[in-house]
Amino acid sequence: MLGVLVRADGDETVFTHVLDGGAAREAGMAAGDAIIAVDGLRIGRGGLDAALAKRRAGETVTLHAFRRDELLAFRVRLQGAPADTCVLSDLSGAKRRLRDRWLGESRG
Angle at 2 between CA 31 and CA 64, to 5 degrees: 65
Q: What are phi and psi of 14, to 5 degrees?
A: -115, 130
Which domains occur in the chain, in start order?
4-82 (2.30.42.10)
**Which class for 43: exposed (0-12), middle (13-18), buried (19 or more C-beta within 10 A)?**
buried
pLDDT per residue, tens digit, the chain (108 aa), is 899 999 988 888 999 999 999 999 999 999 999 999 999 999 977 789 888 888 999 999 999 999 999 999 999 999 987 767 666 667 778 878 887 888 885 555
Q: pTM for the whole thing?
A: 0.72
User: CB of 34 within 8 A of CB of 13?
Assistant: yes
Long-range contacts of 103-108 (CB under 8 A, 24+ apart): none
